[in-house]
Amino acid sequence: MLIRRSTDIIPSEITPRALFEDRRAFLRDAGLFAAGLAVTGLGARAVQAQGKPFAGARKSPLSVAEAATPFKDVTTYNNFYEFGTGKDDPAERAGTLKPRPWTISVEGECAKPKRWDIDELMKLAAVEERIYRLRCVEGWSMVIPWNGFPLSELVKRAEPNSKAKYVEFVTLSDEKQMPGVRLPVLDWPYVEGLRMDEAMHPLALLTFGLYGDLLPNQNGAPVRIVVPWKYGFKSAKSIVRIRFTETEPKTAWNKAIPSEYGFYSNVNPQVDHPRWSQAKERRIGEFGKRATLMFNGYGEQVASLYAGMDLKKYY
Amino acid sequence: MTFQPTPTQIARIKAAVFVACLMPLALLALRAWRDQLGANPIEYITRATGWWTLTFLMITLTVTPARRLLSMPWLLRLRRMLGLFAFFYASLHFTTYIWLDQFFDFSDIVKDVVKRPFITVGFTAFVLLIPLAATSTNAMVKRLGARRWQWLHRAVYVIGTLGVIHFLWLVKKDIREPLVYALVLAVLLGARLVFRWRERARTKAPTVRANSHPARAGIGPS
């Protein structure tokens, strides 16, 4: 596994806040101007380009060459129980989530815990475009162009110590912003977790956007992880805390129904969910079902993480 | 005073109910036509037809308690149609599964039916509905005799229960909706028990009185 050394940012390279805010004001004004152009039908393309912060993101070689699921489907068919248990609930109800200002606390077994401001975190490394398959434990799948950088970039900066065996991800749980947490469907806040080597894997993505734009609220704004070789629920959304732990984190779905949702939850067509088969999946937008691939098709990259493990036992 | 319709009125009511019962299908078709079935249309159709099957089963089961509580015996005239609509939506639900969801992959379907408890109970409920639909005509009632026919059609209690279990077992975690159906079913079946107890008490009471009458009971001090 090749892990690139982090390049430390020289203080002189950090944009001063005033300048940064100035630039925002400029962009806003420019936006108004461009909108004016758009009305006259001249600047539609300009508006589109400047509205999408990751439009020019470097295309990652780790992307799959499969047709991406339409933006509309990606943003209207979601599981995000903090906004309700229906698939269309998040798109309808996530408007109350305020993704700015937002801080992410990195803590636990590490030398350099830190409270990150979201906009500061976004500049930690170069944001790339990664087109990943997403396989939901319910038997459907999508292909989504995410925007983010490897989670390892953040983990390395925290300098986890020798006790840090796992990484825990905690989602915001705020009744005022998330109507779904009023119901005890899951034990809020939503907690997910990865083993340290999983978190350090180059495919594990710290994600800020999709389709070149900032994450829509219903997709886990302002920051989430994407772990493409695991079932979708492992990829925690709207993260407020990342904690290094010595013991395996108590994850939300595992706590809810331990016999159905294990800690690992790697995509595995040979291990059925106790109530339904995982051998096939319906790709959103397609009519027939397709065969589900081991590790969601990322076996070549990740199978070595689980060498010698009984995946029927560690489901 | 309760409403007692004339034969013409009944015919009109029946026609109106028939049209109303087709509305869920019409709305589903309209949504499909307008491309409003969401990102996963097959799931949407499966859910909608399943939901309406259960709803029609509950409506059908409401007829008997309603006609007694409201003293509107004519409601019974609607029961067959409502029951057949339950079967109609169940058939659509089943067809959606066989055709759109599994696309006639019979080896997978058999595996599903055998291995997945929620599909096993759903499938059983559907199979049990078939003889009820087949014996829904007046001629079949006559052929079977009212007593046997009634005995057979009590299977609907089992079917309703299996239907609710089917729903309960398929949801991931949020069981509120299936629980609502379970509650409605419990009330509807419970009402029947109450009616039965009352009837028994009513038929028993005179017998007890009759038996206790010394002259009829043939007992007592001589």
Are residue A153 and residue A268 in the same domain, yes or no? yes
Query: Both A46 and A76 in a single domain?
Result: no
Asked whether residue A130 falls in the same domain as residue A46, the answer is no
Mutate to test the interface with B, among A253, A259, A275, A287 (most CBs of B within 10 A): A275
Mean pLDDT of chain A: 89
Split into its structural domains, chain A has a count of 2
User: What pLDDT sits at residue A246?
Assistant: 98
Q: Is residue A9 part of a domain?
A: no
Residue A226: inside a domain, yes or no? yes
Pair (A239, A119) in one structural domain: yes
Region B183-205 average pLDDT = 92
**B61-83 mean pLDDT:** 95
Q: Is residue A6 part of a domain?
A: no
Q: Within this chain, do residues A46 and A58 fall inside the same structural domain, yes or no?
A: no
Residues whose CB is less than 8 angstroms from the CB of residue A288 and which lie 6 or more positions away in sequence, other chains included = B103
Per the structure, the complete domain to which residue A271 belongs is given by: 54-306
The arithmetic mean of pLDDT across residues A36-52, rounded, is 49
**Omega before residue A202 within 30° of 0, cis:** no
**Residue A216 resides in a domain:** yes
Per-residue pLDDT reduced to its tens digit, B141-186 = 999 999 999 999 999 999 999 999 999 999 999 999 999 999 999 9
Would residue A315 count as lying in a domain? Answer: no
Least confident of A7-11, A211-215, A234-238: A7-11
Judgement on whether residues A172 and A276 belong to the same structural domain of the protein: yes
Q: Which of A185, A285, A287 faces B174 most closely, judged by CB atoms?
A: A185
Decide if the complex's ipTM is over 0.90.
no
Residues A84 and A181 in one domain: yes
The answer to whether residues A201 and A259 belong to one domain is yes
Residue A8 maps to a domain: no
Q: Which of B40, B110, B175, B179 to mutate to test the interface with A (most CBs of A within 10 A)?
A: B40
Same domain, A78 and A164: yes
Q: Do residues B128 and B159 make contact, with C-beta atoms less than 8 angstroms apart?
A: yes
Question: From the CA of A276, how many Å to the nearest CA of chain B?
Answer: 6
How far apart (Å, rounded) are the C-alpha atoms in residues A128 and A56?
Answer: 9
Binary contact (B39, A76; C-beta < 8 A): yes
> How far, in Å, are A27, A54, A96, A119, A121 from residue A31 at the CA level?
6, 16, 24, 20, 25
Between B78 and A39, name the one with better pLDDT: B78
| Chain B partners within 8 Å of A288 (Cβ) | 103
d(CA B19, CA B26): 10
Per residue in A269-278, pLDDT (tens digit) is: 999 999 999 9
Is A125 in contact with A149 (CB distance < 8 Å)?
yes
Residue of A77, A85, A185 lying closest to B39 (CB–CB): A77
Whether pLDDT at B213 is above 90:
no
- Which residues of A sit within 8 Å Cβ distance of B? 69, 72-73, 76-77, 81, 85, 87-88, 138, 140, 183, 185-186, 256-257, 275-277, 280, 282, 284-285, 287-289
Q: Which residues pair with A282 in a beta bridge?
A: A140
pLDDT tens digits, one per residue of A127-177: 999 999 999 999 999 999 999 999 999 999 999 999 999 999 999 999 999
Average pLDDT score over residue span A200-214:
98
Are the beta carbons of A289 and B117 separated by less than 8 Å?
A: no
Check residue B78 and give its pLDDT. Answer: 96
Could you tell me the CA-to-CA distances from A13 to A10, A115, A123, B5, B89 in Å, in that order?
5, 20, 11, 86, 66
Helix (H) or strand (E) holding B214: helix B214-217
A241 and A98 within one domain: yes
Tokens of B60: 């059908």
Q: Is the pLDDT of residue A4 over 90?
A: no
Which of these ranges, A73-82, B14-23, B98-107, has the smallest mean pLDDT?
B98-107
Q: Tell me, yes or no, whether A244 and A290 share the same domain.
A: yes
User: What chain B residue is nearest to A279 in terms of C-alpha separation?
Assistant: B108
Cα nearest neighbour of A283 on chain B: B40
| Segment among A3-12, A84-93, B5-14 with least mean pLDDT | A3-12
B113 token code pair? 């039916």
Report the pLDDT value the prediction gives residue B147, as an integer from 0 to 100: 95
User: Does residue A299 belong to any structural domain of this protein?
Assistant: yes
CB contact under 8 A, B38 and A76: yes
Same domain, A225 and A264: yes
Task: Say how many C-beta atoms besides its own lie within 10 A of residue A203's C-beta.
Answer: 19
